[in-house]
Structure 1
Amino acid sequence: MNLHAVNAIYRFEMARTRRTLLQSVVAPVITTSLYFVVFGAAIGSRINQVDGISYGAFIVPGLIMLSLLTQSISNAAFGIYFPKFTGTIYELLSAPVSMLEVVLGYVGAAATKALVLGLIILGTAAFFVDLQIDHPLVMLMFLILTAISFSLFGFIIGIWADNFEKLQMIPLLVVTPLVFLGGTFYSVSMLSPVWQMVTLFNPVFYLVSGLRWSFYGQSDVSVWVSIGIIVFFLTACLAAVAWIFKTGYHLRS
C-alpha cells in the first residue's frame, strides 16, 4: 500500500478544514447549541422526563447523530466532487494510486472531521445538561462506524453528483428529515401504533436508538439490531464504492 499517497490526500483534506474553520466547525457547534437552547431549555422546561431521562439530556445523542451524519456526508461528498469539478480527478486516476488508497484518504479525512466535531458537540452539551455515558466504548464504536459509513455514503454522492444542486439534495431532502423523524427529539413510545410502525422503516432511527443506549442504557430497539443496521450499511457502501471504481462510473466521463 502506498501510505505516502494516502497521507497526502488525508493531509490535503484536513488542511481544507483548517482553512474553512468557521464553516466546518464553528457554524455546526453554534447550530447545535441553538437546538439545546430552544428544545432543551424552552421545550424541556415543559417536559419533565422522557423514559426517566431529563428532556435536555434525552436529545443529546440525537443531536450528536444529526451533526455526525450531515458532516460526514458533506465533507466526503465535497472532497471528491471538487476534483471532478476542477478536472484534477484525472491526475488522481492516472497516478499510481489504488482505489483503496483513494478511499482511505478521502473517507478517512471526512470521518476524522466528523468525529472531532461530534466530540466537540458532546463537550458542548455538557455545558447545557448533566450527561452520563453508561457505555463509553459502545458510544465510541457507534460514532466511528457511523462516521465511516456515512463518509463512504457521501463519497458515493460526490461521485454521483454532476452539479452542486445534486450534491446538496440527498443530505438536505433525505438525510436531515430522516434524522428529525428518527426519534431525535422524542421517544417512539410517544407515537401512535401506526407511526411507530412507520418509524421502524427509518434506518436512522436505529442509529439514534443505539447511540442513546450507549449513553443511558435505554433504547427503543435492541442495541444489537442497531449494530447490525450500521454494519449492513457500511458493507453496502463498501460494495458500491468498489463497483464505482471497477466500472469507472462518473469518473471517466
Structure 2
Amino acid sequence: MISNLRGIRSIYGFEMARFGRTFWTSLMLPVITTTLYFVVFGSAIGSRMSSVSDVPYGAFIVPGLMMLTMFTESISNASFGIYMPKWTGTIYEMLSAPLSPLEMVIAYVGAAATKSVIIGTIIFATAHLFVDVEVAHPLFMVGFMLLMAVTFCLFGFIIGIWAQSFEQLQVIPLLVVYPLTFLGGAFYSLSMLPPAWQAVTLFNPVVYLISGFRWTFFGQGDVGIGVSMGAVAFFLTLCLCVIFWMFRTGYRLKN
C-alpha cells in the first residue's frame, strides 16, 4: 500500500534534480550517438540495402536505435540511483524511514524511467532530421516505450543492489545487454539470417522486445506482437519478484 507520497516525491525530485544538473551532457550524448549511427548504418549500409521488408533502411533502424539507447540508459540511471545510497551509507536511513520497499522502488524506478523516456523521445526527434518515420500505432508505441523503460529500470535497480563496486555496475550492460541488443535485430531483420541462425537468435530475449517495438512503428515484426508483449510481461514480473526477494531477505542491503 502506498501511504508516504511525500517520501516518494522527495526521492523522485532528488533524482530528477541530479539529472537536471547534467541535462545538457545527457542531451548531447544521445544526439551525437544517433547521428553517428545514421552516418555509419544509414549511409554506409543503407546505400547498399535500400529497404527491409518494404521499409526504408534508415527508418527501419530507428526503433532498434531507440531501444538500444533506452536499454542502457534505463539500466544505468536506475542502478546508479540505488547504488549511491549504498556507497555513501545513506541506504540505512532510508530503510529505517517510514518508507516501504514499494514506495522506494516507485521513486527510484519512476525517476529513472522518466529520464529514459526523455532520452528516447530526443532520439526519436533526432531521427527525423535524417529520415521520415511514420508510426503506425502511436498509442501502442508510447505504451510500449513506457513499459520497456519501467522494465529495464527495474532490471537496473536489481543490478544496483547487486553491485559492490562501480566496475560491477558496468559489467551487465557492457557484457550482456549491449551484445544481446546488437544480436537481437536492432539493425537488421531476422529474415536476413540463414535458417539455422534464425533459430538460434530466437533464444535471445531482446529479439522479442525490439520486434514488438518495431511493430508499433511499421505494423510488422520478426515475431508476433502477442509473443513480444508476453515476453515483456514475463521479464517485468521476474524483475518484481527478484526485487521483492532482495528487500525481504535484505540481500546486499543490510550488510
Q: Report the TM-score, using the length of structure 1 for normalisation.
A: 0.98
The alignment status of 1:120 with 2:112, answered yes or no, reads no
Which whole-Å CA distance do the structure 1 matches of 2:36 and 2:45 have between them?
12
Which whole-Å CA distance do the structure 2 matches of 1:25 and 1:40 have between them?
21
Which whole-Å CA distance do the structure 1 matches of 2:203 and 2:24 have between them?
36
Which whole-Å CA distance do the structure 2 matches of 1:7 and 1:136 have between them?
29
Which whole-Å CA distance do the structure 2 matches of 1:154 and 1:218 have between them?
29
Count of aligned positions: 253
Q: Which residue of 2 aligns with 1:186?
A: 188
Please, which runs of 5 or more residues in structure 2 have no aligned partner? Answer: none
Q: Which residue of 1 aligns with 2:47?
A: 45
**Matching of residues 158-173 of structure 1 within 5 Å:** 158-173=160-175
Q: Which residue of 2 aligns with 1:228?
A: 230
Q: Secondary structure at the match of 1:59?
A: helix
**Matching of residues 49-64 of structure 1 within 5 Å:** 49-64=51-66
1:36 to partner: Cα distance: 1.1
Which whole-Å CA distance do the structure 2 matches of 1:105 and 1:219 have between them?
33
Amino acid corresponding to residue 148 of structure 1 in structure 2: V
1:28 to partner: Cα distance: 2.1
Which whole-Å CA distance do the structure 1 matches of 2:254 and 2:243 have between them?
15
Which of the numbers 140, 150, 153 marks the counterpart of 2:152?
150
Q: Secondary structure at the match of 1:142?
A: helix
Amino acid corresponding to residue 244 of structure 2 in structure 1: A
Identity %: 63
Which of the numbers 238, 241, 255 marks the counterpart of 1:239?
241
Which of the numbers 207, 229, 237 marks the counterpart of 1:205?
207
**Matching of residues 85-164 of structure 1 within 5 Å:** 85-164=87-166
1:23 to partner: Cα distance: 3.6
Q: Report the TM-score, using the length of structure 2 for normalisation.
A: 0.97
Q: Which residue of 1 aligns with 2:70?
A: 68
Which whole-Å CA distance do the structure 2 matches of 1:48 and 1:153 have between them?
36
1:48 to partner: Cα distance: 1.3
Which whole-Å CA distance do the structure 2 matches of 1:10 and 1:133 have between them?
31
Please, which runs of 5 or more residues in structure 1 have no aligned partner? Answer: none
Which of the numbers 69, 80, 83 marks the counterpart of 1:81?
83
1:223 to partner: Cα distance: 0.4
Which whole-Å CA distance do the structure 2 matches of 1:200 and 1:103 have between them?
31
Which of the numbers 28, 31, 37 marks the counterpart of 1:29?
31
2:190–2:198 Cα contact (<8 Å) kept: yes
Which whole-Å CA distance do the structure 2 matches of 1:6 and 1:29 have between them?
31
* Alignment deviations for residues 31-52 of structure 1 (CA, whole Å, 9 cap, x no partner): 1221011111221111111110
Amino acid corresponding to residue 209 of structure 1 in structure 2: S
Which whole-Å CA distance do the structure 2 matches of 1:215 and 1:67 have between them?
17
* Alignment deviations for residues 114-152 of structure 1 (CA, whole Å, 9 cap, x no partner): 011101111111111011100011111110110000000
Amino acid corresponding to residue 8 of structure 2 in structure 1: V
2:30–2:122 Cα contact (<8 Å) kept: no
2:113–2:150 Cα contact (<8 Å) kept: yes
Which whole-Å CA distance do the structure 1 matches of 2:244 and 2:169 have between them?
20
